[in-house]
Amino acid sequence: MDQFSVVVGAGSYRSDDEGAVTFPHRWTPDGVTVQATFTGAHLLHLAVAGCVLNDVYREAGALGLPVDGVRVEAVGGFDTGTWASSGIDYRIEVDSAAPASDLAALLERVDAVAEIPRAVRAGATVRRT
């Protein structure tokens, strides 16, 4: 199974890699960097990583937690013969002065509410119309 990895970063965890692309972001003044190849597999994983990054900022704001930076890597495999996914794993790094217990609770909350991971977990019908 081939692996497809993407990394998104914001704030103190923005990428300085020359291949990274920057997009505007409503919660960070310098935007979000994206390191991904433009394939369907990478874009699916990018949707998960981008949603999780956004939700870290949104939920931290709602909880009053400071966030200086976020990095999310999403990776998963696909059988390139059938394009069946092996699933998507993501890892989050948060740069914050908040207590570790508050950050752990934040990440649990994000995992529960992040819209794209929830949609992927639930399954979705995709139709050409």
Q: What is the pTM of this model?
A: 0.94
Beta bridge partners, 9, equal 33, 71
In whole angstroms, how far apart are CA 38 and each of 4, 5, 6, 128? 11, 11, 10, 21
Residue 126 pLDDT greater than 90, yes or no: no
pLDDT of 77 strictly over 70:
yes
* Superfamily the domain 2-122 falls into: K homology (KH) domain (3.30.300.20)
| Residue range 87-104, pLDDT digits in tens | 999 999 999 999 999 999
Compute the half-sphere exposure of residue 34: CA atoms within 13 Å on the CB side of its CA: 20
Q: Residues 29-51: pLDDT tens digits?
A: 999 999 999 999 999 999 999 99
Structural domain boundaries of the chain? Answer: 2-122
Q: Which pair of structure tokens corresponds to residue 57?
A: 């900022």
pLDDT over 80 (residue 1): no
Q: How many helices (H) and strands (E) does the chain have?
A: 3, 5
Which of the four pLDDT bands, split at 50, 70 and 90, describes residue 83?
confident
CB 72 within 8 A of CB 92: yes
